[in-house]
């Protein structure tokens, strides 16, 4: 009798042993989503176990972008390390700079001048908006809507123009340094920034009309990837992903830094649909909540910026004597509110100018951990929806 | 040869018939057998329509029969594919020779 | 290739009221078209027999069905031809391909029948074909020379709800049963 | 060894060099002359091309109808029952002599014995079916190629506008009008790449399963009363079948690629097709029930009495069916929001993942041609086909002169109208695509099977009742029906004006750059 | 009124509940609790009621000739062809239709209203999902089906709607499907009905096969012609139980009625059907659906042979007696009413069998009113008493529920046939009495005529026939005014409405032909056995007894269960239907429906043998001739009431004593003659038994053989092993074994178990056959002829 013959089996879709062992059911399939996949936002690789369109299990594999960022921090002086930090989360370079700068300032007890603090807040919030714009635009792409992407990037380009005017770089700023910021704002920058804010605020309504309240978009994202507050806390979720589950937790309020205590702003959280203009069907902690929390946060950022711009006064922009400063033999751990969540830096000094140990707690890295928990028994199309709503940046995950 | 008549069509139908039978006889894949059956049904259909066309009076019974056959073939295929998928779920193969649980 | 198919298929329409010059019955063009289409049928049918890969078999079946549909056009049974295309080629076959893909692990997996059976099947089928052809060659059909005009759809439709009402309804019932049955069989056991 | 392969390289002949350098010089000269014209006046060129094609189309119909009349009259004289008396190839007779055609062209006032003009000789072959088929075939083939190329370009422009950017601007000069042909050339020249593990035969075959049906659909698609390649009595079913067969290519392409994403794409297409094809067909049955025919030509002809006679406005069910059909047709063309088989963010590129170069281009040709066909079906089945919104009997006063005929041909009906309407539908498809996110597969199935299918069933039933009531000849009912039809027509009109108003508003307020907010890129002093 | 106005109005009335049904099915959950019910009330029955009222008023305004014209010209459209026989869809438009339509819509509307109040207090959630809307959706569907049934002009459509009402009944009985007994009852009802419907289907097929049409009127005409000519179905020599094929057809059709009207052997489902909600019991299982059987018999009356009618009468008689007796011992208020319904249905069927067409339908309508009312009252009681159905726990509820009690009493009086039989006690020339008084009296009068004076009448008819068709005046044999209404009508038609009748076209002409032929059938009717009459009279005494018993136990006396008594209350919304129905019962519908039905008998039965006593006049005549009958019948209610009150006046004590005295009888009645048990034994256990027998055979017979042979073989083997030398024999044995294995192998080879191999063999054989035929079978000429002949037209 003729047997089953395998003729040139270069890539069997299912390997036979796993079927025999009952590991995989006959109808199941292992699929690699990434590392080269349009909707994994970088080089994330997710291994999916699927049954038709159903994803039974998803396991993120990371490490394709590892650059020893922390190790480098232990071989250079802090002010030299600043440019490395904004390569970590390259979408929000300003905030990364700020986190590391604050860590060193706390360690060495450097007092930052008032004007520098204001500028830092302005830059951080501006970058938060830019980062959220990327998140929104790419999330639209993940859902198959192309237009929000260009709309968001249109506004983001303006922010980048502002950054460029301030520091000369459009992506990797290294603007916020230990002890302040490295350059003062150019003439007319404040007016331009206010002009931008006036232009930008109504655009948020446009985004809402185009995407947020689009029926299909709501259908695609509401009740998808629901994360409960307990799970979020257990998995160490931070940032918009945490706030979308209904936990009102924001380090700018909880442990204010750089003068955030002076500003008046709200912390938006996710809520169930049906009230406050939230569409019906939305559940606290689902993809739509995470998305919408970012939209609301942009409004709050605008609010903070307006206050900061108003209070911006002349003065020094950098503390004295920060270059070549000796780090005391002490340790410090500082967390600040990144657009993606809580970015923490642990720095240990040994009396020399070079840190003995630098460790970063990346929000994307921590947020990504919940993927395998959430991506269970969902449809294939929900995987990009969940990953996109977590808004991870792989540069920071792998570091 | 240039005047196309009933016989020409019947020969084509005969080809379909024989190839359909051959397919059924030689395939071990359940769906392959199904494909053979579809060929057989088509042979019948060609015959029906051809007789209909070349029959005196221009009746349409042949066409209607063909219509019914097409519809029932769709039904048959749906059921057969359902069976095949079930067999595959249970045996992890659609080789008809493996489906011999009831054989003594 | 696409040109050829386009020309052939478009010339084959045997609409009775067509004044622009389709293949008139008995014309040379009809003969040419017939041989092209019949060639398509025969080649595709042989393809089904010979192909070892199940997906390729399905593709050959597809070409066979499409060629048969064109043959119906030649036979002035436009409606049947169109139905053949939409239901058979467009629906049934896609179902088949669907089944094929759900049930095979790789395009390269295949089962072969024993050689003996292959030889026997070849002999029997060729024998059957030859004997059938002989039989057909000897048959003297009545009224085969005059091809009748095509049937209008209205006639078929009317017949379906009068003369063939009972089979029509039964076909409907069968389809419904099949729908339920197929859904039941293919449903997830969870 | 190589001398056997390319012998002429061994002994270059002077003539070769001459010819090649001549060709190059000619090309350069044409390029030099054409480039400034083409880049400077492309708008006028395009416009005149459109006008010219309109004129050609019109003249073609007019002259052909003259010849038709001649043939019919002559056939009647000869006593032949078959109107196609002179045959397809006409082996037995040479048809009408040019002189007879000339007489007919000149009208009754023609003098006997006058030598036939050049036009008569030119028109002589037209009387044979084969000639006409060749002409029509050329026209269809050309159209089939032009549509995808320019719709793709147009789509990129529309997408650009929607996304507040410009779209292609460079190739060819004016608004990048040559972008698509250039892309096509690039795609043809690209490496013919077939993955090792793919089923190479099926991989090669799959694009043809896409392109052939979509080309065949044009065979039965009427552009006007006389602009039909083949008048098929089951044209509607035939075109639907062609659209259905296209699915095969997606499944095969997905399967043959031997890539899991591709298989997903193919499977999704199969699922989606099972779901949308039934509501689509049933929505199309609504006008069929109204008219009582499957022949697209006939369906188009009954809508000749202006806007209110268009089938979408005949009864409320048809109006809803129109919308239903449009939604289902988006799914049929795999257009957003139903572009699941090639969903970029989920399946990389779905069934197209492994395709590149010419095969990929073929898929795209098929898709865009299918979009046109689908729009054409919508036009014929619901929006009056090739008839203008003006009732055709308004032109009765124009007389029967050749000019009046020409004017009527342009004013009241003709392929121009048909193409305009199709273009409108194409625009709708583009608009939707660049606005909406993608639906999930289960939502597609839900929408098609649980919403559209029952809806279309109700529509079909309702239309049947409506038609039945209308045929009963009750005077009261006729009044009610006509009022309803008028109301629907006005609603449709409002939609149309709204569309125009939105488009006009958008055009008036168009903004290419953000203006003074663009900041000088240099850091401040 | 234009052409088809009535038809359109009636058809709209039929379709409106369907719309309501679909609306409730799709939008029901969204409509919510009270809204869904009101949709059903307004759309489901309100609209039909309005339309029915319009039709009724219009119809009453028509002259007799006008009605006949409308009946003859009613809408008929060809729906489809089965073969060449057209299947018509149309409206059967005559007085009966109008009356039934009005009756059904009126009662159904009231019950729909009642249902809203009833369902308010009922839990309607299953697995957390409300099924409230489902109840009204089913009710609407029932409305659609029942009205469609009334309207159908074709037996096929009648059958379709017939099955639809059955389905609704099934759905509604099983409404509380989460309770086991309800779904079991639904199943029982459905299956029992299928038994009857099987007969119906056979009848339907016979009609189609032998009469060649499914239209009621055409079928009747053809039937009469065939009877006269002895052709068609009468030409068949097939007999079963001594019945001719024509009789089997009639009996088959009647089987459907037996199932749906719960007649004697198939009655078992109806009491159990009381598991459904009470409005359903009132509407479907008392007023309308179960009466559909009677309606069916009325419609196919013209297809009945005398033998078939005798069978009908027999079944009716048995039912009415047996069921009335069971009702005596019932303690469940709904069951009691259910058995009463069965008994009354028996009356109707019996009347049909006797030939009292008018009386049967009249009784149907009066019964519908008062039985619906009774059921609604019982629903009110059950609802008020916290779902207590046992009458032994009730008592004295009159104080708590006065309206209910009084309306119930009205129903009791009506069903008992209360009236004043004394000559002269009349108002406006009419006797004073409630609905049942007239209808039941009429049935009994006709039964008397059939039992005792029939020979005279039929002989007289023969004479009349001899004088020539159409001129037979109303015969008056021996003071009885029983007459052949049909022939009188014929006479009228011929004498007075000749031109009109001619103008009505072929239809009425056919009718008159059929009329003459029917008279012939009528002649063949036999005398009824007198015991049937006596049983009917006897039951007339039993009926008031058990009804009064029921009422008294519930409403009078002392409260026997304080808990129930405390809880008792009335729901105001439920008053309205009760009161309206009570009024309907009071005016007894005699003035409205009796004339309509009598009018219907002209056209609906056109020439059937319809016996009627002409209202009070007839009764008077009978009474005059047989004074004892007047008192026996007219005064029966008094006797029954008095006995019942006497027994139950002081609670249940006396009844308990009597129960002990008549214990054997009580036991039999209590167990409903053991019908359920018998069916269980015969059918359910029977099946199991057959299976057991098969298993027994398998175990003890086949296995025995096998074991025996095994044992024998074992012995032989031992013997041979001991006795015969292994080595000597082995050679032979092994050789033989090997040979047989080889042979087996060869023989087994084709039996591969693979279809493809079988196809191969089959094709090979076919090929060989074709080759043989080509080679030896025929020369080319004849072969061609053979093949061609199969193609040539």
> Residue range E625-643: average pLDDT?
69
Q: How many domains does chain A fold into? A: 2
* CA nearest to E782, candidates B55, B8, C140, C130: C140
Among C116, C133, C163, which residue terminates a domain?
C116
Task: Give the pLDDT confidence score for residue D377 in this predicted structure.
Answer: 92
Task: Give the pLDDT confidence score for residue A23 in this predicted structure.
Answer: 47
Please indicate, yes or no, whether residues C164 and C109 belong to a single structural domain of this protein. no
CB burial of residue E717 (10 Å; 0-12, 13-18, 19+): exposed
Task: Give the pLDDT confidence score for residue E470 in this predicted structure.
Answer: 37
Q: What is the pLDDT of residues D355-392, one digit of tens each?
A: 888 888 888 888 898 999 999 999 999 988 888 888 77
Distance from CA of A66 to the nearest CA of C (A): 36
Partners of residue C96 in chain B, C-beta under 8 Å: 31, 34-35, 38, 77, 81
Among D428, D443, D471, which residue terminates a domain?
D471
Lowest pLDDT segment from A337-346, E105-114, E591-600, E652-661? E591-600
Q: What is the pLDDT of residues A376-394, one digit of tens each?
A: 888 888 888 898 898 888 8
Among D6, D39, D57, which residue terminates a domain?
D57
B27/E763 CB distance under 8 A? no
Fold of B6-96: Helix Hairpins (1.10.287)
In a domain, C129, yes or no: no
Q: What angle do CA D112, D113, D116 make, to 5 degrees?
A: 105
Please indicate, yes or no, whether residues A9 and A124 belong to a single structural domain of this protein. no
In a domain, C140, yes or no: no
In a domain, A373, yes or no: no
Strand (E) or helix (H) holding A264: none
Please indicate, yes or no, whether residues D406 and D329 belong to a single structural domain of this protein. yes
In this predicted model, which residue has the larger pLDDT, D203 or D136?
A: D203
B97/A19 CB distance under 8 A? no
Q: What is the pLDDT of residues C141-159, one digit of tens each?
A: 665 445 555 557 777 888 8
Distance from CA of A145 to the nearest CA of B (A): 36
Chain D contact for C75 (CB, 8 A cutoff): no
**Max CA-CA distance within chain B?**
57
In a domain, D361, yes or no: yes
Q: What is the pLDDT of residues E223-250, one digit of tens each?
A: 877 877 777 777 777 777 777 888 888 8
Please indicate, yes or no, whether residues D455 and D493 belong to a single structural domain of this protein. no
Please indicate, yes or no, whether residues D296 and D333 belong to a single structural domain of this protein. yes
Side-chain half-sphere of E509: how many Cα atoms within 13 Å? 6
B95/A4 CB distance under 8 A? yes
Please indicate, yes or no, whether residues A189 and A317 belong to a single structural domain of this protein. yes
E650, pLDDT greater than 70: yes
E685/D284 Cα distance (integer angstroms): 57
Among C116, C136, C167, which residue terminates a domain?
C116
User: Please, do chains A and B touch (3+ CB pairs < 8 Å)?
Assistant: yes
Share of chain D above pLDDT 70, in %: 73
Please indicate, yes or no, whether residues D376 and D484 belong to a single structural domain of this protein. no
> Residue range A88-93: average pLDDT?
87
Q: How many domains does chain C fold into? A: 2
Residues of C with CB under 8 A from a CB of A: 102, 105-106, 108-114
Number of Cβ pairs closer than 8 Å across B and E? 27
In a domain, D10, yes or no: no
Q: What is the pLDDT of residues E342-361, one digit of tens each?
A: 888 898 888 888 877 777 88
Q: What is the pLDDT of residues E40-49, one digit of tens each?
A: 888 888 888 8
Most confident option among B66-70, D22-26, E231-235, E616-620: B66-70
Share of chain E above pLDDT 70, in %: 77
Strand (E) or helix (H) holding A342: strand A341-348
Please indicate, yes or no, whether residues D449 and D488 belong to a single structural domain of this protein. no
Task: Give the pLDDT confidence score for residue D522 in this predicted structure.
Answer: 43
* CA nearest to A244, candidates A219, A263, A225: A225
Please indicate, yes or no, whether residues A52 and A193 belong to a single structural domain of this protein. no
Contacts 24+ apart (CB under 8 A), A205-213: A206/A151, A207/A136, A207/A148, A207/A151, A207/A152, A207/A295, A208/A295, A210/A145, A210/A147, A210/A148, A210/A151, A210/D435, A211/A136, A211/A140, A211/A143, A211/A145, A211/A148, A211/D437, A212/A291, A212/A292, A212/A295, A213/A279
Please indicate, yes or no, whether residues A56 and A201 belong to a single structural domain of this protein. no
> Residue range D112-121: average pLDDT?
61
Q: How confident is the model at residue D1 (pLDDT cuts 50, 70, 90)?
A: very low
In this predicted model, which residue has the larger pLDDT, E675 or D434?
A: D434
Please indicate, yes or no, whether residues A37 and A143 belong to a single structural domain of this protein. no
> Residue range E646-675: average pLDDT?
76
In a domain, D167, yes or no: no
Please indicate, yes or no, whether residues A116 and A39 belong to a single structural domain of this protein. no
Please indicate, yes or no, whether residues C37 and C98 belong to a single structural domain of this protein. yes
b/e burial code for range E178-210 (CB count within 10 A of at least 16 → b): eeeebbebbebbbebbebbbebbbbbbebbbeb
Q: What is the pLDDT of residues E459-479, one digit of tens each?
A: 554 444 434 333 333 333 333
Please indicate, yes or no, whether residues A245 and A355 belong to a single structural domain of this protein. yes
Task: Give the pLDDT confidence score for residue E502 in this predicted structure.
Answer: 36
Please indicate, yes or no, whether residues D291 and D344 belong to a single structural domain of this protein. yes
Please indicate, yes or no, whether residues C95 and C160 belong to a single structural domain of this protein. no
CATH number of the CATH domain containing C62: 1.20.120.1200
Q: How confident is the model at residue D81 (pLDDT cuts 50, 70, 90)?
A: very low
Please indicate, yes or no, whether residues D427 and D335 belong to a single structural domain of this protein. yes
ipTM score assigned to the predicted complex? 0.67
Task: Give the pLDDT confidence score for residue D123 in this predicted structure.
Answer: 66
Share of chain D above pLDDT 90, in %: 5
* CA nearest to A335, candidates A232, A229, A236: A236
Task: Give the pLDDT confidence score for residue D127 in this predicted structure.
Answer: 65
Please indicate, yes or no, whether residues A184 and A124 belong to a single structural domain of this protein. yes
Nearest to A26 among B28, B92, B95 (CB): B92
Domain range holding A14? 5-61
Report the mean per-residue pLDDT for chain D: 77
A147/D524 CB distance under 8 A? no
In a domain, A333, yes or no: yes
In a domain, C139, yes or no: no
Residues E266, E200 contacting (CB under 8 angstroms):
no
Give the domain ranges of chain B.
Answer: 6-96
In a domain, D463, yes or no: yes
Q: What is the pLDDT of residues D132-163, one digit of tens each?
A: 667 777 777 777 888 888 888 888 888 888 88
Task: Give the pLDDT confidence score for residue C153 in this predicted structure.
Answer: 78
Task: Give the pLDDT confidence score for residue E514 in this predicted structure.
Answer: 41
Please indicate, yes or no, whether residues C99 and C170 belong to a single structural domain of this protein. no
In a domain, D144, yes or no: no
Is beta strand E426-427 parallel, antiparallel or unpaired with respect to E243-244?
unpaired
In a domain, A185, yes or no: yes
Partners of residue C113 in chain A, C-beta under 8 Å: 2
Strand (E) or helix (H) holding A128: helix A114-142
Angle between helices E333-354 and E435-448 (to 10 degrees): 40
Q: How confident is the model at residue D472 (pLDDT cuts 50, 70, 90)?
A: confident
> Residue range E2-22: average pLDDT?
84
> Residue range A174-194: average pLDDT?
85
Please indicate, yes or no, whether residues A254 and A289 belong to a single structural domain of this protein. yes
Lowest pLDDT segment from A295-299, D151-155, E383-387? E383-387
* CA nearest to E166, candidates E27, E21, E288: E288
Q: What is the pLDDT of residues D227-255, one digit of tens each?
A: 777 777 788 888 988 888 888 888 888 88
> Residue range C40-53: average pLDDT?
87
D240/E421 Cα distance (integer angstroms): 79
D100, pLDDT greater than 50: yes
E730, pLDDT greater than 50: yes
Please indicate, yes or no, whether residues C111 and C155 belong to a single structural domain of this protein. no
Distance from CA of C146 to the nearest CA of D (A): 16
Task: Give the pLDDT confidence score for residue E513 in this predicted structure.
Answer: 38
In a domain, A93, yes or no: yes
In a domain, C144, yes or no: no
Please indicate, yes or no, whether residues A227 and A117 belong to a single structural domain of this protein. yes
Task: Give the pLDDT confidence score for residue D30 in this predicted structure.
Answer: 81
Task: Give the pLDDT confidence score for residue C108 in this predicted structure.
Answer: 52
In a domain, A369, yes or no: no
Task: Give the pLDDT confidence score for residue E486 in this predicted structure.
Answer: 38
E501, pLDDT greater than 60: no
Among A41, A61, A81, which residue terminates a domain?
A61
Q: How many domains does chain D fold into? A: 4
Please indicate, yes or no, whether residues D425 and D495 belong to a single structural domain of this protein. no
> What subunits make at least 3 CB pairs under 8 angstroms with B?
A, C, E
Task: Give the pLDDT confidence score for residue B31 in this predicted structure.
Answer: 83
Please indicate, yes or no, whether residues A313 and A341 belong to a single structural domain of this protein. yes
C97/D245 Cα distance (integer angstroms): 13
Q: How confident is the model at residue B19 (pLDDT cuts 50, 70, 90)?
A: very high
Q: How confident is the model at residue A145 (pLDDT cuts 50, 70, 90)?
A: confident
E241/D499 Cα distance (integer angstroms): 80
Residues D348, A39 contacting (CB under 8 angstroms):
no
Nearest to E767 among C124, C143, C161 (CB): C124
In a domain, C2, yes or no: no
Domain range holding C24? 9-116
Q: How confident is the model at residue D269 (pLDDT cuts 50, 70, 90)?
A: confident
Chain A contact for B32 (CB, 8 A cutoff): no
Report the mean per-residue pLDDT for chain E: 75
Q: How confident is the model at residue C1 (pLDDT cuts 50, 70, 90)?
A: very low
Q: Is the peptide bond before A330 cis (omega within 30 degrees of 0)?
A: no
Domain range holding D118? 59-127
Chain A contact for B88 (CB, 8 A cutoff): yes
D345/A10 CB distance under 8 A? no
In a domain, C67, yes or no: yes
Please indicate, yes or no, whether residues C98 and C37 belong to a single structural domain of this protein. yes
B9/C75 CB distance under 8 A? yes
Q: What is the pLDDT of residues E193-204, one digit of tens each?
A: 888 888 888 888
> Residue range A149-174: average pLDDT?
87
Residues A263, A253 contacting (CB under 8 angstroms):
no
Q: How confident is the model at residue E277 (pLDDT cuts 50, 70, 90)?
A: confident
A398/A88 Cα distance (integer angstroms): 8
E493, pLDDT greater than 80: no
Q: What is the pLDDT of residues E560-619, one digit of tens each?
A: 777 777 777 777 767 777 777 777 766 655 666 766 776 666 554 443 444 444 333 344
């Amino acid at each position: 009798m003729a047997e089953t013959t395998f003729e040139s089996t270069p890539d069997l879709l299912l390997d036979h042993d796993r079927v025999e062992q009952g590991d995989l059911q006959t109808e199941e399939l292992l699929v690699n989503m990434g590392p080269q996949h349009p909707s994994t936002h970088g080089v994330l690789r997710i291994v999916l176990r699927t049954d038709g369109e159903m994803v039974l299990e998803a396991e993120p594999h990371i490490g394709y972008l590892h650059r020893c960022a922390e190790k480098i921090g232990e071989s250079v002086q802090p002010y030299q390390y600043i440019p490395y930090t904004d390569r970590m989360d390259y979408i929000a370079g300003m905030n990364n700079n700020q986190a590391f700068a604050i860590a060193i300032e706390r360690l060495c007890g450097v007092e930052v001048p008032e004007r520098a603090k204001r500028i830092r807040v302005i830059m951080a919030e501006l970058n938060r908006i830019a980062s959220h714009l990327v998140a929104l635009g790419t999330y639209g792409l993940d859902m198959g809507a192309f237009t929000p992407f260009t709309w968001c990037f249109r506004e983001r380009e303006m922010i980048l123009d502002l950054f460029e005017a301030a520091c000369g770089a459009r992506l990797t700023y290294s603007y916020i340094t230990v002890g302040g910021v490295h350059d003062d704002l150019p003439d007319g920058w404040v007016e331009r920034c206010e002009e931008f804010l006036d232009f930008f605020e109504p655009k948020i309504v446009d985004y809402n009309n185009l995407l947020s309240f689009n029926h299909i978009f709501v259908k695609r994202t509401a009740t998808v990837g629901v994360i409960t507050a307990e799970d979020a806390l257990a998995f160490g979720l931070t940032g918009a992903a945490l706030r979308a589950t209904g936990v009102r937790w924001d380090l700018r309020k909880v442990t204010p830094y750089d003068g955030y205590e002076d500003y008046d702003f709200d912390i938006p959280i996710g809520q169930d649909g049906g009230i406050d203009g939230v569409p019906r069907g939305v559940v606290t902690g689902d993809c739509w909540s995470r998305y919408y929390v970012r939209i609301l946060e942009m409004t709050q950022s605008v609010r903070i910026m307006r206050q900061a711009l108003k209070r911006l006064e002349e003065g020094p922009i950098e503390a004295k004597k920060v270059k070549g400063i000796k780090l005391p033999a002490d340790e410090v751990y500082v967390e600040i509110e990144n657009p993606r969540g809580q970015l923490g830096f642990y720095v240990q000094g040994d009396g020399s100018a070079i840190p003995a140990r630098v460790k970063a707690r990346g929000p994307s890295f921590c947020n990504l951990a919940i993927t395998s928990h959430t991506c269970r028994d969902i449809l294939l199309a929900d995987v990009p929806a969940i990953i996109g709503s977590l808004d991870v940046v792989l540069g920071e995950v792998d570091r | 040869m240039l005047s196309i008549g009933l016989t020409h069509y019947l020969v084509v139908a005969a080809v379909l018939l024989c190839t359909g039978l051959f397919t059924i006889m030689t395939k071990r894949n359940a769906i392959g057998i199904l494909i053979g059956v579809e060929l057989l049904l088509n042979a019948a259909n060609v015959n029906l329509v051809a007789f209909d066309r070349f029959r005196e009076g221009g009746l349409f019974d042949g066409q209607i029969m063909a219509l019914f056959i097409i519809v029932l073939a769709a039904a048959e295929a749906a059921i057969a594919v359902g069976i095949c998928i079930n067999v595959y779920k249970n045996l992890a193969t659609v080789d008809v020779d493996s489906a011999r649980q009831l054989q003594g | 290739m696409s040109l050829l198919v386009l020309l052939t298929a478009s010339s084959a329409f045997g609409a009775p009221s067509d004044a622009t010059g389709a293949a008139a019955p008995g014309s040379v063009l009809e003969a040419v078209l017939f041989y092209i289409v019949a060639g398509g049928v025969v080649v595709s049918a042989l393809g089904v027999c010979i192909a070892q890969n199940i997906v390729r078999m399905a593709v050959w079946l597809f070409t066979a069905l499409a060629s048969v549909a064109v043959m119906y056009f030649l036979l002035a049974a436009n409606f049947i031809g169109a139905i053949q295309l939409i239901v058979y080629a467009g629906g049934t076959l896609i179902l088949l391909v669907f089944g094929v893909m759900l049930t095979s692990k790789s395009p390269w997996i295949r089962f072969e029948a024993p050689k003996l059976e292959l030889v026997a099947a070849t002999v029997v089928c060729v024998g059957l074909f030859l004997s059938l052809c002989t039989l057909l060659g000897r048959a003297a059909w009545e009224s085969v020379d005059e091809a009748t005009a095509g049937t209008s759809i209205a006639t078929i439709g009317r017949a379906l709800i009068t003369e063939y009402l009972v089979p029509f309804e039964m076909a409907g019932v069968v389809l419904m049963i099949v729908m339920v049955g197929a859904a039941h069989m293919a449903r997830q056991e969870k | 060894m190589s001398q056997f392969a390319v012998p002429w390289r061994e002994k270059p002949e002077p003539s070769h060099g001459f010819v090649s350098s001549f060709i190059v010089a000619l090309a350069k000269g044409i390029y030099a002359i054409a480039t400034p014209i083409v880049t400077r006046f492309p708008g006028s060129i395009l416009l005149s091309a459109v006008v010219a094609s309109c004129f050609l189309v019109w003249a073609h119909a007019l002259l052909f109808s003259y010849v038709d009349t001649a043939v019919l009259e002559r056939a009647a004289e000869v006593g032949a029952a078959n109107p196609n008396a002179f045959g397809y190839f006409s082996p037995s007779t040479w048809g009408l002599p040019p002189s007879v055609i000339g007489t007919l062209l000149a009208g009754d006032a023609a003098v006997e014995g006058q030598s036939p003009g050049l036009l008569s000789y030119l028109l002589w072959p037209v009387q044979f079916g084969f000639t006409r088929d060749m002409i029509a075939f050329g026209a269809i083939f050309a159209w089939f190629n032009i549509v995808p190329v320019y719709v793709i370009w147009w789509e990129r422009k529309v997408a650009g506008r929607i996304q507040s950017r410009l779209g292609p601007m460079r190739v060819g000069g004016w608004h990048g009008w040559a972008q698509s042909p250039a892309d096509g050339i690039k795609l043809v020249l690209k490496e013919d790449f077939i993955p090792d593990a793919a089923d190479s035969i099926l991989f090669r075959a799959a694009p043809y399963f896409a392109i052939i049906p979509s080309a065949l659909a044009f065979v039965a698609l009427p552009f006007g009363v006389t602009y039909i390649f083949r008048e098929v009595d089951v044209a509607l079913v035939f075109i639907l079948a062609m659209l259905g067969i296209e699915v095969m290519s997606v499944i095969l392409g997905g399967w043959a690629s031997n890539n899991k994403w591709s298989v997903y794409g193919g499977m999704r297409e199969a699922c989606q097709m099972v779901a949308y094809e039934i509501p689509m067909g049933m929505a199309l049955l609504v006008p069929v029930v109204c008219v009582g025919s499957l022949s697209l030509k006939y369906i188009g002809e009954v809508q000749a009495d202006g806007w209110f006679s268009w089938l979408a406005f005949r009864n409320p069910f048809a109006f809803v069916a129109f919308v239903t059909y449009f939604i289902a047709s988006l799914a049929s063309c795999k257009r957003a929001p139903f572009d699941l088989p090639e969903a970029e963010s989920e399946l990389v590129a779905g069934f197209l993942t492994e395709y590149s170069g010419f095969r990929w281009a073929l898929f795209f040709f098929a898709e865009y041609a299918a979009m046109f066909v689908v729009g054409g079906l919508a036009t014929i089945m619901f929006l009056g086909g090739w008839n203008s919104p003006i009732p055709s009997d308004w032109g009765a006063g124009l007389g029967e002169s050749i000019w009046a005929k020409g004017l009527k041909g342009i004013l009241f009906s003709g392929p121009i109208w048909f193409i305009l309407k199709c273009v409108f539908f194409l625009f709708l498809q583009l608009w939707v695509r660049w606005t909406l996110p993608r639906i999930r597969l289960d939502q597609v199935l839900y929408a098609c099977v649980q919403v559209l299918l029952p809806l279309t069933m109700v529509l079909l039933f309702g239309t049947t009742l409506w038609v039945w009531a209308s045929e009963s000849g009750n005077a009261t009912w006729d009044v009610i029906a006509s009022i309803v039809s008028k109301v629907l027509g006005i609603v449709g009109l409002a939609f149309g004006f709204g569309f125009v108003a939105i488009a006009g508003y958008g055009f008036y307020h168009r903004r290419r750059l953000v203006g003074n907010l663009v900041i000088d890129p240099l850091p401040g002093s | 009124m234009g052409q088809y106005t009535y038809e359109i109005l009636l058809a709209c009335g039929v379709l409106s509940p369907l719309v309501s049904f679909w609306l409730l099915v799709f939008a029901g959950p969204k409509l919510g609790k009270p809204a869904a019910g009101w949709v059903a009330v307004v759309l489901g029955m309100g609209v039909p009621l309005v339309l029915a009222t319009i039709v009724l008023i219009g119809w009453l305004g028509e002259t007799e000739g006008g009605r006949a014209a409308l009946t003859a010209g009613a809408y008929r459209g060809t729906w489809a062809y089965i073969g060449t026989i057209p299947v018509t869809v149309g409206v059967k438009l005559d007085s009966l239709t109008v009356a039934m339509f009005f009756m059904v819509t009126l009662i159904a509307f009231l019950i729909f209203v009642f249902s809203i109040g009833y369902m308010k207090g009922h839990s309607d959630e299953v697995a957390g999902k409300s099924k409230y809307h489902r109840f009204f959706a089913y009710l609407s569907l029932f409305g659609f089906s029942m009205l469609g049934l009334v309207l159908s002009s074709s037996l096929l459509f009648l059958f379709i709607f017939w099955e639809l009402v059955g389905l609704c009944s099934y759905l509604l009985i099983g409404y509380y499907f989460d309770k086991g007994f309800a779904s079991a009852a639904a199943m029982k009802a459905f299956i029992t009905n299928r038994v009857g419907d099987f007969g119906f289907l056979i009848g339907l097929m016979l009609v189609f096969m032998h009469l060649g049409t499914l239209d009621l009127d055409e079928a009747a005409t053809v039937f009469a012609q065939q009877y006269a000519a002895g052709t068609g179905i009468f030409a068949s020599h097939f007999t079963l139980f001594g019945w001719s094929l024509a009789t089997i057809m009639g009996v088959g059709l009647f089987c459907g009625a037996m199932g749906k009207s719960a007649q004697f052997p198939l009655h078992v489902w109806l009491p159990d059907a009381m598991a459904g909600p009470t409005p359903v019991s009132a509407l479907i299982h008392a007023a309308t659906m179960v009466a559909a059987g009677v309606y069916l018999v009325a419609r196919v009356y013209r297809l009945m042979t005398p033998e078939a009618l005798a069978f009908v009468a027999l079944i009716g008689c048995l039912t009415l007696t047996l069921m009335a007796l069971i009702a005596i011992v019932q303690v469940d208020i709904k069951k009691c009413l259910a058995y009463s319904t069965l008994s009354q249905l028996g009356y109707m069927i019996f009347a049909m069998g006797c030939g009292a067409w008018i009386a049967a339908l009249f009784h149907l309508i009066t019964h519908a009113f008062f039985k619906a009312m009774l059921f609604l009252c019982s629903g009110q009681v059950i609802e008020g008493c916290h779902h207590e159905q046992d009458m032994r726990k009730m008592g004295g509820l009159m104080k708590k529920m006065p309206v209910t009690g009084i309306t119930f009493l009205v129903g009791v009086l009506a069903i008992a046939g209360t009236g004043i039989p004394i000559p002269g006690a009349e108002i406006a020339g009419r006797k004073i009495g409630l609905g049942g008084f007239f209808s039941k009296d009429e049935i009994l009068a006709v039964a008397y005529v059939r039992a005792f004076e029939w020979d005279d009448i039929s002989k007289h008819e023969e004479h009349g026939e001899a004088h020539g068709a159409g001129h037979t005046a109303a015969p008056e044999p021996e003071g009885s005014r029983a007459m052949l209404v049909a022939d009188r009508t014929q006479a009228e038609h011929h004498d007075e409405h000749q031109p009109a009748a001619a103008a009505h076209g072929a239809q009425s002409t056919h009718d008159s032909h059929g009329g003459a032929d029917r008279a012939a059938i009528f002649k063949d009717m036999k005398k009824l056995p007198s015991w049937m009459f006596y049983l009917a009279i006897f039951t007339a005494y039993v009926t008031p007894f058990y009804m009064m018993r029921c009422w008294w136990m519930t409403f009078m006396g002392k409260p026997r269960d304080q808990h129930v008594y405390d809880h008792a209350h009335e729901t105001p919304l439920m008053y309205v239907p009760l009161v309206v129905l009570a009024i309907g019962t009071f005016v007894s519908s005699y003035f409205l429906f009796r004339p309509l039905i009598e009018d219907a008998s002209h056209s609906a039965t056109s020439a059937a043998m319809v016996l009627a006593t002409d209202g009070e006049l007839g009764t008077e005549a009978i009474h005059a001739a047989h004074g004892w009958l007047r008192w026996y019948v007219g005064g029966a209610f008094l006797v029954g009431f008095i006995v019942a009150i006497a027994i139950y006046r002081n609670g249940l004590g006396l009844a308990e004593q009597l129960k002990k005295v008549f214990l054997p009888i009580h036991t039999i009645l209590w167990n409903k003659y053991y019908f359920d048990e018998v069916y269980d034994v015969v059918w359910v256990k029977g099946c199991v038994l057959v299976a057991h027998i098969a298993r027994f055979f398998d175990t003890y017979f086949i296995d025995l053989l096998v074991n025996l042979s095994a044992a024998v073989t074992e012995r032989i083997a031992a013997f041979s092993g001991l006795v015969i030398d292994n080595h000597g024999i082995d050679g032979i044995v092994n050789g033989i074994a090997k040979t047989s294995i080889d042979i087996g192998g060869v023989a087994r080879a084709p039996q591969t178990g693979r279809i493809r191999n079988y196809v191969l063999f089959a094709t090979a054989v076919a090929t060989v056959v074709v080759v043989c035929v080509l080679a030896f079978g025929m020369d080319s000429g004849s072969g061609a002829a053979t093949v061609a002949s199969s193609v040539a037209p």
